[in-house]
Amino acid sequence: MKITAVLLAAGYGTRMKSEYPKVMHPLMGRPMIDWAMRAVESLVDAPPIVVVGHGQELVRSYLRDRAVYAEQQELLGTGHAVLQALPSVAQDADAVIVTYADMPLLTQATLRRLLDLYRTHASSPTLAIAMLTVKRENPQGFGRIVRRSDGSVAAIVEETDCTPEQLAIQELNPGVYCFHAAWLRQNLPYIPRSAKGEYYLTDLVSMAASQGRQIVTLEAPLEDVYGVNNRVHLAEAEAILRRRILERHMLEGVTIVDPFSTYIEDTVQIGADTTIWPGCLLQGATVIGRHCTIGPYSQIIDTQIADHCRVVYSVLEQARMDQGSEIGPFSHLRKGAHLGENVHMGNFGEVKDSYLGPGVKMGHFSYIGNAEVGANVNIGAGTITCNYDGVHKSKTIIGDHAFIGSDTMLVAPVVVGEFARTGAGSVVTRDIPAHATAYGVPARVHKVEDRTPPQGGAEE
């Protein structure tokens, strides 16, 4: 059976009171429309058809070739929107799913159940529609499902058109359908125009009922069909998505000490046996390995963290930590920072666009920018790489096993050789040879001695 999906995304979303289209508002690391797309993409045989209108440039630039686009130039209702998509529906399609881009909680599992219901009845020559329904006291503006005495669906009445008796109906229409494709082609152009001048997709239900066609329904989980119309709804939807994401990680072996204070976007990956402490905010394309300790109160954005790492009260953005490295409390990895294996970076340190080699110790109160630091270097408190002269940024290179004394200023471009040392308070403006000791303002070399450990011996 060949399935096509149509996603309605052309509305203004005026109740959001935003210059952005409603469907592009973010939810847990993805625009609202992305959640709706992900629910249908794996169920259909071709890219979904997205009906666009207001703010379509943003929608198109985000989805790109994940979708086929149909433009609704005049917003004349949901029936009119689907009509714009109809020419893009493959001629050999058997069924057409129609859903909404502002329904981010709708899951692939619920849509699959709807498709299974359709397939179960597909052999019936009268089948026209399989549709979701929901029962709840708060109608949230959804139309009411009107049934005949035998339980069959007779019509859907929009809330604004309901009689007092119909307003009391608690079975609601969330607007998610699977149509018989040929029947949809034949009947969609004949939807009557409402008193408001719009064409309601819901009128297809009464049309099918009057033709004696079969309409089958599936009751959806309450939270799946929660529509977002304003920023209050947006926050409520995000709370549900946040819970789902945290539950997924916990079921995959991640310990989340306090889910109520932890925010993990959907795009984040976390290995088993990692512990997330309270107050953490994990965002973007962040990947965290196994057996890590994250937090408390750390923000990590687009960062790669290997196994057995520890992050405490720190901010990491577009950075990388190799296995066994640790940072914090109160430190900052900025874009391009890379801590090698078993690096220790203590409190109130900052690294940007730099590599700290394996075993580096950077205890506290230091800034390393545009630098390459070799293995087993000790960076004393208050060390600064002076990498910017107001016009250009220059590089600092520190060789393996060097010892940088406290309060050293390294005025780039400068090279400190392997096993070299700087005295406390030095201002280094010239290269320091390997094994040399330099100190002063400006720093001068005072002695050179071989500090290489004997072959096979241990360095003291």
Q: What positions carry a catalytic annotation? A: 364
Q: How many Å apart are CA 66 and CA 47, to the nearest integer?
A: 6
The two structure tokens encoding residue 428: 């280094």
Task: Tell how strand 338-339 and strand 355-356 pair up.
Answer: parallel
Q: How many Å apart are CA 186 and CA 343, to the nearest integer?
A: 68
Give the N- to C-terminal CA distance of the chain in Å, as an integer: 73
Are 98 and 8 in contact, with CB atoms under 8 Å apart? Answer: yes
Q: How many Å apart are CA 230 and CA 319, to the nearest integer?
A: 35
Sort 345 into a burial class: Cβ within 10 Å, 0-12 / 13-18 / 19+. buried
Q: How many Å apart are CA 86 and CA 74, to the nearest integer?
A: 16
DSSP 306-362: -TT-EE-S-EEES-EE-TT-EE-SS-EE-TT-EE-TT-EE-TT-EEES-EE-TT-EE
Are 342 and 360 in contact, with CB atoms under 8 Å apart? Answer: no
Handedness of CA 245, 251, 256, 259 (dihedral sign): positive
Q: Answer left, alpha or beta for residue 370, where phi above 0 means left and psi between -120 and 50 means alpha.
A: left
Q: Which of 390, 326, 380 is nearest to 398 (CA)?
A: 380
Q: Which of 379, 457, 358 is nearest to 424 (CA)?
A: 379
Q: How many Å apart are CA 95 and CA 443, to the nearest integer?
A: 78
Which DSSP category does 430 fall into?
S
Residues with Cβ within 8 Å of residue 186, at least 6 apart in sequence: none
Q: How many Å apart are CA 373 and CA 419, to the nearest integer?
A: 12
